[in-house]
Chains A and B, each alone.
Chain A
Amino acid sequence: MSTGMKTPLGRVRGLGSAKSGTGDFWRQRVTGVALVPLTITFVLVVIYLAKASQATAIATLSRPLVAILMFLFIIAGIVHMRIGMQVIIEDYVHDEKWKIAAVMANTFFSLLVGACCTYALLKLNFGI
């Protein structure tokens, strides 16, 4: 095997042509850990508001602690689901064009959901 003039360290620096390595793997675990308590909080908030009026929903969702935890749930959730769905796409979609399109659509969908939730949270906290 020809390795040219490169030293073993030089060959692995920068993680080759991919330029990145285990970033998504680690991010999936960090968001996963965060999502355990955030999911429990979210479920309890949903149960609390299951039959609430809109006024009660706004009053609850604009409590600082609830609003902040909901915001964190949304951010951690969309990052986690985007990586997860990308893994599924890469496993099943083998045609390069479709794969790129699907991975891109996945990012758009995740960001759209995140933007909708964040917009709604901001509006019901600070809007009219």
Chain B
Amino acid sequence: MADRKVPARPLSPHLQIYRWPITMTMSILHRVTGGALYVGTMLLAWWLLAAAAGAKAFGLMQWFIGSPPGLLILFGYTWALMHHMLGGVRHFIWDLGHGLGPGDRDRLAQANLIGSVVLTLALWILGYWALGGTN
């Protein structure tokens, strides 16, 4: 028994064998945006604490958010929020047992990606329009 050879068994193919499907990208993006939003909650805490602290603290927060790096962070945060929110809706659709077929899941993934970009741009256009252009 002890010296019996173990037959060479085929290994299951690993990741690089497969054509990279969009659902894999979206899975990673859902996790990455979730992680980014996690860190980004510090901005929310700062914003609320600054508002509660006084005009000077709030002014500093507003100045940072209005600066180029601040705007970039806010834009990224908006996209992450929209992408993660739509990704969540996609997961709810799956949880209810729909959209798991080969065509459906790809279309859902594409809708998630396009939807997040469209919503982000729409929100920024709304903000730009509502606040009357640049400073």
Does B bind A? Answer: yes
Chain B residues whose CB sits within 8 angstroms of the CB of A32 once the complex forms: 88, 91-92
A47-B34 contact, Cβ under 8 Å, with A39-B81, A117-B48:
no
Task: Please state if B130 and A47 are interface contacts (CB–CB under 8 Å).
Answer: yes
The answer to whether A108 has its CB under 8 Å from any CB of chain B is no
The answer to whether B2 has its CB under 8 Å from any CB of chain A is no
Task: Please state if A116 and B48 are interface contacts (CB–CB under 8 Å).
Answer: yes
Chain B residues whose CB sits within 8 angstroms of the CB of A81 once the complex forms: 34, 37-38, 41
Cα distance A123–B48 in the bound complex, in angstroms:
10
Cα distance A121–B89 in the bound complex, in angstroms:
29
Task: Please state if A33 and B92 are interface contacts (CB–CB under 8 Å).
Answer: yes
Instruction: Kindly identify which residue among A29, A51, A88 contacts B92, using a CB–CB cutoff of 8 Å.
Output: A29
Cα distance A35–B81 in the bound complex, in angstroms:
11
Task: Please state if A88 and B127 are interface contacts (CB–CB under 8 Å).
Answer: no
Most buried by B among A39, A48, A78: A39
Chain A residues whose CB sits within 8 angstroms of the CB of B58 once the complex forms: 53-54, 57
Task: Please state if B45 and A116 are interface contacts (CB–CB under 8 Å).
Answer: yes
The answer to whether B7 has its CB under 8 Å from any CB of chain A is no
Cα distance A33–B88 in the bound complex, in angstroms:
8
How many A residues, CB 8 Å from partner? 33
What residue in chain A is nearest B42 (Cβ atoms)?
A113
Task: Please state if A29 and B95 are interface contacts (CB–CB under 8 Å).
Answer: yes
Task: Please state if A88 and B42 are interface contacts (CB–CB under 8 Å).
Answer: no
What residue in chain A is nearest B78 (Cβ atoms)?
A43
The answer to whether B117 has its CB under 8 Å from any CB of chain A is no
A127-B131 contact, Cβ under 8 Å, with A43-B123, A85-B38, A117-B45:
no
Task: Please state if B131 and A120 are interface contacts (CB–CB under 8 Å).
Answer: no
Task: Please state if B34 and A35 are interface contacts (CB–CB under 8 Å).
Answer: no
A residues neighboring B (CB under 8 Å): 29, 32-33, 35-36, 39, 43, 47-48, 50-51, 53-55, 57-58, 61, 74, 77-78, 81, 84-85, 88, 113, 116-117, 119-121, 123-124, 127
B residues neighboring A (CB under 8 Å): 31, 34-35, 37-38, 41-42, 44-45, 48-52, 54-55, 58-59, 62, 65-66, 78, 81, 85, 88-89, 91-92, 95, 123, 126-127, 130-131, 135
Shortest Cβ-Cβ A-B pairs, 5 listed: A120-B48, A54-B58, A116-B45, A120-B52, A123-B52
